[in-house]
Structure 1
Amino acid sequence: MSCAGVLVLALLLDALVGEPDWAWKRAPHPAVLMGRAIEMLERNLNEGDNRFFNGALGIIVLAALAGLLGSAISHLPLGGLFEIIVAAILLAQKSLAQHVQAVADALRQSTEEARAAVAMIVGRDTQEMADDAIARGAIESAAENFSDGVVAPAFWFLIAGLPGLMIYKLVNTADSMIGYRNARYEQFGKFAARLDDVLNWIPARLTALILILASRKWSAWSVIRRDAPLHRSPNAGWPEAAMASTLGVALSGPRAYHGEMKDFQWVNGEGARNIGAKEVDQAVDALWSAWLVLLGIVIVLAVVT
């Protein structure tokens, strides 16, 4: 079976099953294992005068091991079946939609419940968030994680099979753990952060196109071209601007990290700012519409390859 054929089944399996609690209570999730390996790397190598070199070498070794493991799984008896299962585990469509929907549901109950729900999917301070800021955080997370957790894994699976997906997931996990510009990680995590930027460059822009195709709001492209570069990330601005412009809401803007306010520019600043559960519901609908477009693209590739 072609990579595209395997990916079709993996996308469907992920959408159907997601990440059931019963499974991961009995065994660690592959992303958790990757995280433990990165933690061990950081504890042992993030010291001395060559932190950048140590971090780069460590990530290269771990990525190579992840790729080799993916290749080994692919060559097992019934390797195609294992590829489908592992790829489905490393995709995140259903779990993403569930986490974002949980924020909308919580917003209908109380601000405190909504703050707790959005804290599960964003890295900013949530203790004093108003409802509109909670909704923005959930929608931004929906857009960025659809790119990082669905489109990019699918893209790298199509390019390089399960090894490509495993390498991408390892690098993306490393970026989320050590890719920060602070005293502890500035040097050690820089290679992982830059490599993650490279691996997400095409998928982020594909995500913006997929969101436009799903919404059929072609005029959104001019807003995306204008506002995507405003984002502090070279990639995250593309899906975020696409989601903002297709939903007609303003995203980004001021927010707090570790008690310090950051005056980020607005994305689609002319969009609605007084938003809440309804707009988060619309973001979840947009996720599934975009997923259907992605699935359709992969089905076409499976037919022609």
Structure 2
Amino acid sequence: MSTALLLIPSLILDAALGEPKWLWSRLPHPAVLMGRLVQRLDDRLNDGEGRRRNGVIAVGVLVLSGLILGWILSWFGGLVSLLIAAILIAHRSLITHVQEVAAGLRLTLPEGRAAVARIVSRDTEQMTGPQVARSAIESGAENFSDGVIAPAFWFLIGGLPGLLVYKLINTADSMIGYRTETYEEFGWAAARLDDLLNLVPARLSAALIAIVSGCGRDWREIATDARKHRSPNAGWPEAAMARALGVALAGPRSYEGELRSFAWVNEAGSKSADAHAIDRCTEVLWKSWALALLLTVALALLF
């Protein structure tokens, strides 16, 4: 059975059920288990001299683990594969988290800040309403690529082994892929491999967003804005979403009390985003998901 045919019910199951609390309150989520593996490698290898070499070894362990586990699980048939894919694709939970920010903003600014603090790593205590809204939109666009399109893409390309390798490396990047004294060397390999694995999915995500929002004609401008972003990949879906909504994204923000001057994406757009803009963002994300599903159906019919 083709991976495209298996991906169709996986996308639908995730969109319909998300991450049921009754299940994951009783069992550890696979993403949690992946995080524990990364943490164990961090504890054992991120010390002393040769940290970059040790980081490469850690990435090798993660890749090999994903390939072997994915290969073994594939023996259990298509049903197991599509269920695991549904668990590791996170569109419904992404939409839920982003919508919670809009709901919080509609109540009070502090509740909006509290909601957005659960999905971004920047300082949120002093955020204005527009800053909260922009942060939620940026998170929605970036995680549509990382959490939906990229895992679906690598499942299509490599089945369960491809999906598990991607999720392990993406988890590692989120935990150790930082340019800090602790992780500058050890997290280098994870960050670079994550950049490589997201190269195509990020641009595909941007294309989906641009097509469903009718701003495909602005692709050249989207590409220009994407290259201004500090990330080689996150700028693509963010730039497309910024054009889709007519807002400016990215720009200066604070991390651990330090204001950092990042470039604006779609600088000419409105900087006064609000809860309604977040709602429009989730509408675009659902339409983009639907287009991705249609393309998957087309692939299944063709192959």
- What amino acid does structure 2 have at the position aligned with 1:255? R
Q: Which range moves more in the overlay, 50-59 or 291-300?
A: 50-59
Q: Deviations over 1:35-94 (max 9, x none)?
A: 001111111110111101111111211221122111111112xx2101111000000100
- What amino acid does structure 2 have at the position aligned with 1:162? L
Aligned mates of 1:125, 1:103 — CA distance in 2: 15
Aligned mates of 2:196, 2:19 — CA distance in 1: 28
Which residue of the other structure, out of 106, 109, 132, is the alignment partner of 1:108? 106
Counterpart check, 1:48 vs 2:48: yes
Aligned mates of 2:59, 2:92 — CA distance in 1: 29
- The answer to whether the Cα contact below 8 Å between 1:220 and 1:246 also exists between their aligned partners in 2 is no
Q: Deviations over 1:136-193 (max 9, x none)?
A: 0000000000000000001101110010000000000000000000100000000000
Q: Which range moves more in the overlay, 142-151 or 60-69?
A: 60-69
- The answer to whether the Cα contact below 8 Å between 1:144 and 1:239 also exists between their aligned partners in 2 is yes
Q: TM-score with structure 1 length normalisation?
A: 0.98
Per the TM alignment, residue 218 of structure 1 is displaced from its structure 2 partner at its CA by 2.3
Per the TM alignment, residue 222 of structure 1 is displaced from its structure 2 partner at its CA by 2.5
- The answer to whether the Cα contact below 8 Å between 1:73 and 1:83 also exists between their aligned partners in 2 is yes
Identity of counterpart residues, as a percentage?
54
Aligned mates of 1:123, 1:291 — CA distance in 2: 25
- What amino acid does structure 2 have at the position aligned with 1:127? E
**1:169 is paired with a residue of what secondary structure?**
helix
Per the TM alignment, residue 194 of structure 1 is displaced from its structure 2 partner at its CA by 0.2
Per the TM alignment, residue 216 of structure 1 is displaced from its structure 2 partner at its CA by 2.0
Q: How does 1:152-163 map to 2 (within 5 A)?
A: 152-163=150-161
Aligned mates of 1:242, 1:293 — CA distance in 2: 15
Per the TM alignment, residue 219 of structure 1 is displaced from its structure 2 partner at its CA by 2.6
Aligned mates of 2:197, 2:174 — CA distance in 1: 14
Q: Which residue of structure 2 lines up, in the alignment, with residue 66 of structure 1?
A: 66
Aligned mates of 1:133, 1:270 — CA distance in 2: 16
Aligned mates of 1:225, 1:196 — CA distance in 2: 20
**1:128 is paired with a residue of what secondary structure?**
coil
Q: Which residue of structure 1 lines up, in the alignment, with residue 8 of structure 2?
A: 8
Which residue of the other structure, out of 75, 83, 89, is the alignment partner of 2:87? 89
Runs of 4+ in 1 over 3 A off after TM superposition: none
Per the TM alignment, residue 248 of structure 1 is displaced from its structure 2 partner at its CA by 0.5
Aligned mates of 1:272, 1:252 — CA distance in 2: 12
Q: Which residue of structure 2 lines up, in the alignment, with residue 297 of structure 1?
A: 295
Aligned mates of 2:142, 2:35 — CA distance in 1: 20
- What amino acid does structure 1 have at the position aligned with 2:10? A
Q: Which residue of structure 1 lines up, in the alignment, with residue 247 of structure 2?
A: 249
Aligned mates of 1:172, 1:92 — CA distance in 2: 13
Aligned mates of 2:72, 2:264 — CA distance in 1: 46
What are the ranges of 5 or more consecutive residues in structure 2 without an aligned counterpart?
none
Aligned mates of 2:120, 2:50 — CA distance in 1: 31
Aligned mates of 2:237, 2:299 — CA distance in 1: 23
Q: Which residue of structure 2 lines up, in the alignment, with residue 215 of structure 1?
A: 213
Which residue of the other structure, out of 106, 113, 119, is the alignment partner of 1:121? 119
Aligned mates of 2:203, 2:216 — CA distance in 1: 15
Aligned mates of 1:119, 1:89 — CA distance in 2: 24
Q: Which residue of structure 2 lines up, in the alignment, with residue 197 of structure 1?
A: 195
Which residue of the other structure, out of 168, 171, 181, is the alignment partner of 2:169? 171
How many positions carry a matched residue from both structures? 303
Which residue of the other structure, out of 122, 131, 134, is the alignment partner of 1:133? 131
- The answer to whether the Cα contact below 8 Å between 2:62 and 2:168 also exists between their aligned partners in 1 is yes
Aligned mates of 1:166, 1:218 — CA distance in 2: 32
Per the TM alignment, residue 226 of structure 1 is displaced from its structure 2 partner at its CA by 1.5
- The answer to whether the Cα contact below 8 Å between 2:207 and 2:216 also exists between their aligned partners in 1 is no
Q: TM-score with structure 2 length normalisation?
A: 0.99
Aligned mates of 2:84, 2:224 — CA distance in 1: 38
RMSD: 0.7
- What amino acid does structure 2 have at the position aligned with 1:64? L
- What amino acid does structure 2 have at the position aligned with 1:166? L
- The answer to whether the Cα contact below 8 Å between 2:11 and 2:86 also exists between their aligned partners in 1 is yes
